[in-house]
Every structure is written in C-alpha cells, then in structure tokens.
Structure 1
Amino acid sequence: MTQTSAAAAERELAEPYLRQVLDTAGLAVEYVRAEGNTLYVRDDDGAEFPVADFAGGYGSVLLGHHHPEITAYARQLLAEHTPIHAQFSRHPYANRLAAELNRIIARELAEDEPYYAIFGNSGAEAVEAAVKHAELDRGMRVAELLGSVDAGLAAARAAVADGSATVHGEAAARLGVALAADGNEAVRLLEAAIRRHNDETAASPPLFLALEGGFHGKLAGSVQLTHNEGYRLPFKSLAAQARFVPHDSPEDLNAVYARERRVLLGLTAEEGRITVTEHAFPVFCAFLVEPIQGEGGIRVLSRAFAREIQEFCARIDCPVVVDEIQSGMGRTGALLASSRIGLRGDYYTLAKTLGGGIAKASVMLVREKRYRRDFEIVHSSTFAKDSFSSHIALKVLELLERDGGAAYRRAEERGAALRAKLDALRAEFPDVVADVRGHGLMQGLEFHDQSEASSPELRQIAASGLFGYFLAGHLLRRHRVRTFPTASAVGTLRFEPSIYVTDAELGQLYAGLHDVCTLLRKQAGDELTAAGR
C-alpha cells in the first residue's frame, strides 16, 4: 500500500459526520458476523461476543439474519448463475411473486380484485413509484375531465347558435364578464373566462395528504411526504407538497379538503338557458398512510380513523397508498398490518423483509381499477424484478406461509411476550416510561421528556436531539442489546426483533431497560452518557 492510499484508508470518508454522532452516543461499533437474532462484535482481544439485535435492520430481518434456508437458496441461485441482469425480457419468476402476493392479500382482504406489481430495490423507491403512478393516473383523469368540459362548451355554443338556448345575466355575473347583446358573442366571452380559469386550475401542482408523524423515505419525492421537518424542509422546492393531518381527527381532513378544494367550470344548456357548471378537480394525488408509524414513534392507526380515511378518500376520489414497508411482511401477524384494522389500499408498498435480509427488494402494488399500463413504459429500475431478488422473495413468502402460517402466529406470540416485558416496565416506572405502543414484533417504549431534568447531563442530551441514541448506547455497552430510537421521535426506543427472539433475549432486554429506567429515575445522567466517552 502506498503512503497516499494508507493515509486515505485511515481517514473517514464514508459519512464521517454520522460516524462522529455514533461515536458520541457509543454506537460506533463494527459488527463482524450475524445469525438469527444475534450480531457479533470483536473485543479488544479479537474475541467475538454476541449482541441481541432488537433493531432488526429497521424491520428487515423478521426471519433473522442469514436464515439457513434463505442463505442456502441464495448460494444455489448464484451457483446456478441465475440471470440477475436480464432487463427488458420475460421475468416469469417476478410474475409468480406478484401472483403469490395477490393470493395472500386476497385472503387477508377477503376480496379478489387483483393488484399489479411494480418492483424496486428499496422502500423509498416503492413509495416513489406509487407517487409517480398516482400522479400519472391523476393527470389522465384531469385530461378526461377537461375533455368532458370541452364537450359541454361545444354543446353550449351549438345550443346558442341554433337558438335552443340563450345566455342570461346570472351566467355572465357568475364568471365576472359583461353580458353581450349578441348570443354568440356572449357564449364566446363565457367560454374564454372558463378556459382561463380551467387552464390555471389544471396547471396547479398536485397535493398529497399524509399523517403527522409519518415517514415515507428520504428521496426527492418521498421526503416531502415525511412529516419530520428536519428531513423535509431543506428540499421543499424539489417536489410536490403534502398537507399533514393529525391522527384521529376527521374534522381536520374535512377542513383541509375545504381549504384546498378546486373546481373546473363548464357550460350546459338546461331548459333553454346557458348555465355555469362546476366539476370537482382532483387536487389531491394520494393519501399516504402507515398502519403503524415506524419512525414516528411506533404509533398505531386506529380502526376508527382508518375507516374515516377510507370513507373520506372514496368521497373525494383520492387513492390511498398504504405504506407497509416496516409494518408489513408478517411483522404484526399478517402480511399486511392494515388488513387487521380494515384498511384497504389502492396502493401498497412492501420492502425490507421481502428481501429475506439478503436481497434488496421492494414492490409497489396498485389495484386493477386504478392501474395505468402506460406506467410500465415511463418508469423503470435497473436492478428491479431480477431473478435473484424475485426468487429470494418467493422463498420468504414460502417460509411465512409454511405450516398454515406458523410464522405469522409466532410473530404474534413473540410480540405478546415482548409487550409483556414493556408493560411491566411501564407499570414499575410510570414516572420514567410515558407509553408503550405497537403490535406484534413492532413495539415502542416512550420515555418522559428529560429537558427539565435535575441532571445536567440528561438536560444536555435531551436538548441535543440524541436522547434515545444515548440510551441505546448504554444498552449496547452495558447489556449487549442493540436497538435505536425512532427517527422522528427520539424519545421512543423501537423493538423489531426477528420471530426467533428467545425468552432469554427478552429477559436480557428487560434487564437492560430496567437499568435505564432506574438510572433515569435516579437522574444518573453521568452513567447514561458514559457510553460516548
């Protein structure tokens, strides 16, 4: 190695600021091996020691790290030289994957309308595909609506020309134009005013609806649908804008719609008079919803509000995009967490566990009545729909469905065992633990705010925005437990282990959290912050 390359190797060039943050919180460790629900770290002597993984790849390893069947199958696929780069050709394995997803979804929804699949590599990419498809669909609906309005204008002109209808003052006043004496000139003026209004309305950018606390990715489009302002506002000018509504607040939904509602205008001949008509314009491109907000603090969408959203979107003809990237793929005891609360999506996005912890795979599903086939031409992804990731995803579904869905049942059972530990902590430390939330193997423990703590160390980390990361650092250093806070609610620790998490590991987590709660109650901030020293 040359002197220059040696110096370069020592310098941190791969996200150095993030490395500093991890160092500060005591989380900058290198994991050298992974299996099951365990990651391994080497100590100073080079010996491995295990860490119980409750972060679970942010929900990516429901079936554990390097599941033996998935790993063996991956080796087989590579040994057989499966064609990873065979774009723009037949992909029967991807079609089988789409069919199997449809079979399971039809069972959970008790409906048989098919969903067409667009594959990708990451959850954010699946969200981007859903947003793009929804906008393509909205644009086509706008074009159809404008065509219908044009037909009405032509019919109104014809009715005036043949004398079967006349223009009266109320129509002119409605549009703010002077009433011409000549009927043909009058209808021409009305039409010109209508076209000006409609051109302006049709050119307006789409709006999206999303819930406060939601997280849908950090790409140029998806980041605008993510509620956290720290992620969103620096890039506000790059993409379409969202209107965020609070949970369990149908009145806010209606208020947003009333505020943003727009119409196209038209003309019709009724009972010998030319009348101005209104046609609802599709302002909102889509409503994005997580059944359980992963980065927003593990907040569960209520069944009642899910129904309100469904009915609201049906009323204004706004498609529902159900983001199941963290909550889906069996983590809550069903392929779709949304199916448990009666929410039916026009679109679904799935990723993370879809790749079995090995492949980079995601999918956007869109129901048949919304599907636009032209999307397949205007959208593509180099690494999507390949043989390797499709076959791995099929193996994942096989494992989830095996033995009558034993994996789903295990997710519920292990989730209940995890919840019992968290509930016990809340009961013992109500002054420290604010809430326990989640379902199945997607749980969150929220701590009370420490910004006014008696401990100066606790006040400092509460003000830094890294509170949960310091708690996670303590758990890692003292208890060999790996977890993280949720990204947009750093006072909430997340727990998304695999279905193979053991009672011993749950006990290990409980002991670590009990220690954290004890230190917070004692206001021993110096011990909690020692992880970063």
Structure 2
Amino acid sequence: MTAPAHARTSADLIRAEEPVLAHNYHPLPVVVARAEGAWVEDVEGRRYLDMLAGYSALNFGHRHPALIQAAHDQLDRLTLTSRAFHNDRLAEFAERLAALTGLDMVLPMNTGAEAVESGIKVARKWAYDVKGVPDGQATIVVAADNFHGRTTTIVSFSTDESARTGFGPFTPGFKIVPYNDLAALEEAVDETTAAVLIEPIQGEAGVIIPDAGYLAGVRELTRRKGCLFIADEIQSGLGRTGRTLAVEHESVVPDVLLLGKALGGGIVPVSAVVARREVMSVLGPGEHGSTFGGNPLAAAVGTAVVELLETGEFQRRADELGVVLREGLEALRGHGVTGFRARGLWAGVDVDPALGTGREISERLMREGILVKDTHGSTIRLAPPLTVTADELRSALGTLEKVLGQAG
C-alpha cells in the first residue's frame, strides 16, 4: 500500500516519480510541500528562499493574499462555462488587461505556448487578409537562441537541438536571424513577412539583454516594411524588469503582445494575446478557440493580477531591488562570477566553469537553502518573486559568494 504523501520523505517521493512520471524534466532534488511569499518548505520542514519564482510565474510570490482571495471567491461561484456562453468575469479582465498594456483586444488562452501558437495564427491570418500575402506563403522572422515553448510548431524555429531532435518533420514558414542584429533582420524581412517574433529579453538563453536601441529599431523596421512586431513577454512581462513590460524600457508598443506565466498569479495557467484592434479583428468565429481560455476562475485571478500591477508598486519594487541585485553581483565579479546580465529582478549569472556547471552550482545553493535553476553551461538564472526583501536578496547573494568560495 502506498504511504500518504505527507508521511513520505523527499527521497521516497522522488523515487516514486521515477517509474510513473515522464522524464521530460530534470528537477533539483527538493520536494516542496508548502510555500508563502518568497519562501518554500519541503516535506521534511526545511525552508528555502525561492530565487526562481516559477520562471516568473510567481512574480507576486507564493499564495499572494489578494490572488488567493480572488480565487477562493470565484471558486464559490463559477469556474467554467466554456466559450459557448458568456461569463460575468471575462469582460473586466479583457478591458483592464488591454488598458494596462496600451493595446485594444485580448485573446485569452491558458499556457504560454498556446499564446505563442495563437499569435502565429493571428499574424498569418493578418498577412493573408490585410497585407495580401499569397495563401500559404506567409513567413515569420524569429531570433536564434529563442525560447517560445515546446510545441511542434515552436520547436520548428528553435535553435536548441535538445528541443528539436527527434520531433520532426518541422513546420515551415520561419526565418531565423541572429538576436540583437538589426542588419540581419532588415535583410530577412521581405514581402512575405507577416511578423517579427522576438523576446525583448531572451530568458532561457541566459537573460540576454539586447543593445540599447534594438527594440526601437525592430519597431521602426517592422512599421516601415509593413509587417507586425510580436513581443513575447511571457517571462519578461508583468513587472519582472522594473516596468510592466520589458519593451517599455525603449518606449515601444508592439502590434501583438504575448503574455502568460505571472498572469495566472501562480494559481492557474492564464495566457493572452493582446493586440491592436485592426490585427485581432482578422479572427472570426470558429477560426480559433479554447475550451478553458477565458474561464471565469482564470479571468478572476487574471483581473486580480492586473489590479496589483495597476498601482505600479511591483514595478517600482523590481526596479529598486534590481539595484541591490546588480550591486551584489558586481561585487562577485572576479570572485567566481565571470559576468552577468540583469534588468530589474532578473539576472543571468555566468560562473567560472572551473567551479562547476550551472547544475552543480544550483545543487550546492539548494543545500544552503537557496533555490535557483541553471540554463546553458555554467550560467544560473536569478528571478526571485517581486515580494522579496532587500535583506533576503543580500542573504541569497551572500550564500552564492559562500558557495563559489567553497568551490574554489
């Protein structure tokens, strides 16, 4: 007989996953049972400072009271109708999200990958109906080292072989250019181009921040060449970089915006495509849909998330605490840290490979009560909840200094 989860140790639970759970992740060996704010606790009661925040899905921390209350209230009323009927929560969510982003219309979905897939469909439909691209010939220009999800279409334009190998045949219609290279982008865009799809900051690649002027250049180029600018802000958006959206650092408004992760408040999966009216209006009934997209529970939580962001408090916190993060990382440069890239409360930290891989550094930090996740090579990502305190940040950086010192 299987022991109840609360009576099993971390080792028991990890072993129990092995024969029954698909091996598509390689998680750190910690089993989280409870969480609040910036802290999580494992089944043995050990506490850890969460410096990953669910890849930005937990921007507002674990179990933020306002978000939990919104979910509880809605659970007592209505959770799902499908889009066959209207529900009383969806209009407010769409109105406030559109206003927050400076755009006009919202297509609610569930996961980030769904938002990307939906954005691709909208861009292609716009290319045929509005731009006049011959049927079946629309192309979308993307950046190398991108991460937009792992569906079969999305991995078709990934340059990460671990995401692609074994999953062909691949979807045509995409051109890949180097990130942060306006000249290459200019050359790739032609009369068949429906859109340019990029991350304002490449998260999975190691928090790669483009040169100043790049995003404004993409906006100018797409406007001049008559194609759409789609900004994937699924990780970078909703307060993470010290602005509501990362494109705001260059005062750019894209034609289409992709949101997810933090939009669900760490409670339910919520994503959205937000776009200019003349772009989104190409969709008609039956051309795209989702049974769960825009469900009342998701809309209630999403509205509560937007309400938190409308005050600007979390954007200011990320901006101010980002200074603490950058100063702390700068002090570690040459002391195990070979370089870093940071904006707001988001950083990619390159560790001297002689001290270990990113995975090894993450495991050592875990044993010291700090949870981070590696990306490529010896790079780790730091993305704590925006509710983290300056003292907690400094403590985490002190632990990183300790771990790097021990490794040396």
TM-based fold match above 0.5: yes
The residue number in structure 2 matching 1:408 is 315
Are residues 10 and 124 of structure 1, via their aligned partners in 2, closer, same or farther at CA, if it must alter by over 3 Å?
A: closer
Identity of aligned residues (%): 29
Aligned residue pairs total 396
User: CA–CA distance in 1 between the matches of 2:63 and 2:192?
Assistant: 46
Is 1:243 the counterpart of 2:175? The answer is: yes
The residue number in structure 2 matching 1:100 is 96
Is 1:319 the counterpart of 2:228? The answer is: yes
The residue number in structure 2 matching 1:443 is 347
Deviation at 1:250, TM superposition (A): 2.2
Deviation at 1:352, TM superposition (A): 0.9
Deviation at 1:360, TM superposition (A): 1.1
Q: Which amino acid letter does the alignment assign opposite residue 123 of structure 1?
A: G
The residue number in structure 2 matching 1:76 is 73
Structure 2: gaps (5+ residues): 3-14
Q: Which amino acid letter does the alignment assign opposite residue 440 of structure 1?
A: G
Deviation at 1:508, TM superposition (A): 2.7
Are residues 68 and 127 of structure 1, via their aligned partners in 2, closer, same or farther at CA, if it must alter by over 3 Å?
A: same
CA deviation profile, 1:178-223 (whole Å, cap 9, x unmatched): xxxxxxxxxxxxxxxxxxxxxxxx4664332112222111112222
Are residues 11 and 61 of structure 1, via their aligned partners in 2, closer, same or farther at CA, if it must alter by over 3 Å?
A: closer
Q: Which has the larger radius of gyration?
A: 1
Q: Which amino acid letter does the alignment assign opposite residue 413 of structure 1?
A: E
Deviation at 1:518, TM superposition (A): 2.0
Give yes or no for contact 1:39–1:50 (8 Å, CA) kept in 2.
Answer: yes
The residue number in structure 2 matching 1:117 is 106
Give yes or no for contact 2:39–2:47 (8 Å, CA) kept in 1.
Answer: yes
Match for residue 131 of structure 1 among 120, 136, 154: 120
Q: Which amino acid letter does the alignment assign opposite residue 473 of structure 1?
A: E
User: CA–CA distance in 2 between the matches of 1:94 and 1:333?
Assistant: 27
Give yes or no for contact 2:83–2:290 (8 Å, CA) kept in 1.
Answer: no
Query: Counterpart of 1:338 in 2: which secondary structure?
Result: helix
Deviation at 1:376, TM superposition (A): 4.3
Is 1:510 the counterpart of 2:397? The answer is: yes
User: CA–CA distance in 2 between the matches of 1:127 and 1:15?
Assistant: 26
Are residues 242 and 14 of structure 1, via their aligned partners in 2, closer, same or farther at CA, if it must alter by over 3 Å?
A: farther
Match for residue 209 of structure 1 among 114, 138, 141: 141
Deviation at 1:498, TM superposition (A): 1.2
User: CA–CA distance in 1 between the matches of 2:65 and 2:314?
Assistant: 15
Deviation at 1:375, TM superposition (A): 4.2
Is 1:85 the counterpart of 2:81? The answer is: yes
User: CA–CA distance in 1 between the matches of 2:84 and 2:345?
Assistant: 38
Give yes or no for contact 2:32–2:41 (8 Å, CA) kept in 1.
Answer: yes
The residue number in structure 2 matching 1:55 is 52
Deviation at 1:343, TM superposition (A): 2.5
User: CA–CA distance in 2 between the matches of 1:482 and 1:18?
Assistant: 20
Q: Which amino acid letter does the alignment assign opposite residue 289 of structure 2?
A: S
User: CA–CA distance in 2 between the matches of 1:334 and 1:237?
Assistant: 39
CA deviation profile, 1:130-188 (whole Å, cap 9, x unmatched): 0011111122246x46xxxxxxxxxxxxxxxxxxxxxxxxxxxxxxxxxxxxxxxxxxx
Structure 1: gaps (5+ residues): 3-8, 107-113, 146-201, 262-281, 459-466, 523-533
Are residues 247 and 395 of structure 1, via their aligned partners in 2, closer, same or farther at CA, if it must alter by over 3 Å?
A: same
Matches within 5 A, 1:77-476: 77-79=74-76, 81-106=77-102, 114-141=103-130, 144=132, 202=134, 205-257=137-189, 261=190, 282-402=191-311, 405-426=312-333, 428-429=334-335, 432-448=336-352, 450=353, 453=354, 458=356, 467-476=357-366
User: CA–CA distance in 2 between the matches of 1:393 and 1:212?
Assistant: 31
Q: Which amino acid letter does the alignment assign opposite residue 351 of structure 2?
A: F
User: CA–CA distance in 1 between the matches of 2:282 and 2:196?
Assistant: 21
Q: Which amino acid letter does the alignment assign opposite residue 309 of structure 1?
A: V
Question: TM-score scaled to structure 2, two decimals?
Answer: 0.90
Give yes or no for contact 1:205–1:240 (8 Å, CA) kept in 2.
Answer: no
Give yes or no for contact 1:215–1:225 (8 Å, CA) kept in 2.
Answer: no
User: CA–CA distance in 2 between the matches of 1:18 and 1:219?
Assistant: 13
CA deviation profile, 1:348-388 (whole Å, cap 9, x unmatched): 01111111110210000121232334344211011111111
Is 1:481 the counterpart of 2:370? The answer is: yes
Deviation at 1:406, TM superposition (A): 1.8
Give yes or no for contact 1:208–1:225 (8 Å, CA) kept in 2.
Answer: no
User: CA–CA distance in 2 between the matches of 1:358 and 1:342?
Assistant: 31
Deviation at 1:346, TM superposition (A): 1.1
Q: Which amino acid letter does the alignment assign opposite residue 350 of structure 1?
A: L
Query: Counterpart of 1:221 in 2: which secondary structure?
Result: helix
Give yes or no for contact 2:126–2:282 (8 Å, CA) kept in 1.
Answer: no
Give yes or no for contact 2:90–2:296 (8 Å, CA) kept in 1.
Answer: yes
Deviation at 1:11, TM superposition (A): 6.6
Q: Please provide the CA RMSD for this pair.
A: 2.3
Query: Counterpart of 1:309 in 2: which secondary structure?
Result: helix
User: CA–CA distance in 2 between the matches of 1:376 and 1:321?
Assistant: 23
Match for residue 379 of structure 2 among 486, 489, 492: 492
CA deviation profile, 1:377-415 (whole Å, cap 9, x unmatched): 21101111111110111111112223xx22221121122
User: CA–CA distance in 1 between the matches of 2:126 and 2:24?
Assistant: 39
Which deviates the most, 117-126 or 211-220?
211-220
CA deviation profile, 1:49-76 (whole Å, cap 9, x unmatched): 2100001001011111001121122112
Give yes or no for contact 2:141–2:188 (8 Å, CA) kept in 1.
Answer: no
Give yes or no for contact 2:239–2:315 (8 Å, CA) kept in 1.
Answer: yes
User: CA–CA distance in 2 between the matches of 1:359 and 1:376?
Assistant: 26
The residue number in structure 1 matching 2:39 is 38
Give yes or no for contact 2:98–2:274 (8 Å, CA) kept in 1.
Answer: no
Are residues 296 and 98 of structure 1, via their aligned partners in 2, closer, same or farther at CA, if it must alter by over 3 Å?
A: same
Which deviates the most, 302-311 or 227-236?
227-236
Structure with higher helix content = 1
